[in-house]
Amino acid sequence: MKYALIATAAGLALLGGCATTVPAPVGMKVGQFVTYKCDGGKQFQARLAEGGSSVRVRYEGGYELDRKAGGVYEADGWKLTAQGPALELMHNGKPAVKNCRAA
For 36-79, the pLDDT digits (tens) are 999 999 999 999 999 999 999 999 999 999 999 998 999 999 99
State the Cα–Cα distance between residues 68 and 31, nearest whole angstrom. Answer: 19
pLDDT of residue 1 exceeding 60, the answer is no
Specify the pTM.
Answer: 0.77
When pLDDT is cut at 50, 70 and 90, the band that residue 20 belongs to is low
Q: What is the mean pLDDT of the chain?
A: 85
Query: Can you give the pLDDT at residue 24?
Result: 84
DSSP for the chain reads -HHHHHHHHHHHHHHHHHHT--PPPTT-BBTB-EEEE-GGG-EEEEEEPGGGSEEEEESSSEEEEEE-GGG-EEETTEEEEEETTEEEEEETTEEEEEEEEE-
Domains within the chain, CATH numbers bracketed:
23-102 (2.40.128)
